[in-house]
A = this chain, B = another copy of it.
Amino acid sequence: MEARARQGILGDDMKNEREQIVEMLKKAYFMELETVISYITNSVNLDGIRAREVAESLEKDVQEELGHAQQFANRIKELYGVVPGSEQFAAEQSYLQPPDQQTDLVHVIKGVIAAETGAIEHYNAIIEFTDERDPVTNDMVIAILADEEGHRRLFEGFLREVETV
């Protein structure tokens, strides 16, 4: 155990784990970037007064999610990985494409919940894998998870109201 502590996740003995983490982080990197795109698109498209509240929430998140993407990129680099280029980006958030009616709030709210749920699952997996193996990545992803959990909860509250009315 002593030996293991020496360089931690950056030690030669941890090469395999490190590469696995890098792969997980690459996926996270593109998830955040697609969220950036989806949130700009939807925050601008939405029409209506109630939509203002939702749109402003998304606009504010654009910067936050971009920050997450940059954190993932930097950690990939620190773990001796290579940040992937735009050609490896593949859209997956079918649920966040513009709806037919730009006043269709429910569509957007459900889309955000779906996106956040995907992120929460992937980040829980990273946290589980890095626990005891790579405390720095572990800590960083817990902080990001906290943001996503809070964000999903907010939109679940939105949904509850919208579906009631």
Contacts and interface: CB of A to CB of B under 8 A. Distances in A.
Nearest to A140: B146
Interface in A106-135: 117, 120-121, 124-125, 127-128, 131-132, 135
A54 B164 CA distance: 18
A16 interface: no
Interface of A: 1-2, 4-8, 10, 33-34, 36-38, 40-41, 44-54, 62, 66, 69-70, 73-74, 76-78, 82-87, 89, 91, 93-94, 96-98, 102-103, 105, 117, 120-121, 124-125, 127-128, 131-132, 135-136, 138-140, 142-143, 145-146, 149-150, 153, 156-158, 160-162, 164
